[in-house]
Amino acid sequence: MIVTVTANPSNDRTVALNTPLTRGAVHRIVSVSTEPGGKGVNVARALTMAGLEAVAVLPAAADDPFVAAVAGAAVPYATVPTTSAVRTNLTITEADGTTTKLNEPGAFLGSSTLDALADAVITRARTANWVVLSGSLPPGVPDNWYAEIVAALQPLRCKVAVDTSEGPLLALAAGFGRAAPDLIKPNSEELASLAGLSAIELENAVAQGDPEPVVSAASHLVELGVGAVLATLGAAGAILVDHAGAWLATPAPIVPRSTVGAGDSSLAGYVRADVGGDPPPRRLQMAVAYGSAAAALPGSALPSPADLDLDAVRVVSIFSQSPDNPAPQPHQPKEGV
């Protein structure tokens, strides 16, 4: 069982343009789609499509149309009651794959609702393989909420992954001395914010064949207690660093259509491979295959196993402290995983 937590769920509305987005201009929309979203919901959707048992935990009123949309997507869910409607986020995608997002702040969560959400997470975590904490935090939630949940889950047997940004990410990092997750999944901007570096410099370094700045930044987080760092770097691929080594994965070139959900798909791919018993390099390979497949799909569509091309993802070892974790050979996914 994988438990995903989305404190700030959203109706993800995506509009596609066949011309570049121009400020102040009138645009004709080519297509429109709306999906139940929020980063944890996206992870649960991708895992469910892969045949894994997952449940999305989130705050929402029972009669909110968002809940019906989650049920319609065949994703098991558990809600903590609220009185406010789930927010709507707007994404604008251009023909070349450029993505612009306009995100609402979300509904205010009071202390009683937040306590109920924490209790729901901890209760389900007792029988979970993974707990995935994803996304922004809505108004009323302190930045250190993820850090507190990670600490509360420490006595349990489940693994914990966190994918967040800005204040919640910095608060999480500040608590690494007390409790650190088994996995964090920063993108280049998020990793740069933790390391005091430039996101553009990190991506450019990897694109030019120098992964050292990313590896160094991620290794520092591992030294602080994080189990593994999955740094997603857009078209440059991704780097995985843990106590045993570091690996770089690069996908084959694609025609990007929308980056919405690509990072969430990468996280789902990593968790899927881990649950299947795969070693770190293969987890990275699956993560990048999922992220690449998501970027090639329109709107907020998420990839199914049929959309993946694992063999197109090249993984190389940057350094390894264990002979048990070489770079993978062409990977055949395990049946049922």
CA angle 235, 10, 264 (to 5 degrees): 30
CA distance 188 to 279: 24
Per the residue annotation, which of 64, 163, 264, 278 is the catalytic one? 264
The count of residues in the chain is 337
Catalytic (active site) residue 264? yes
Six token digits for residue 33: 């789609």
133 membership: H or E segment, kind and range: strand 130-134
Tokens 């007792």 belong to residue? 126
CA distance 257 to 247: 27
As beta bridge partners, residue 58 has 79
CA neighbor of 108 nearest in space, from 133, 78, 77, 142: 142
- By annotation, the residues acting in catalysis are 264
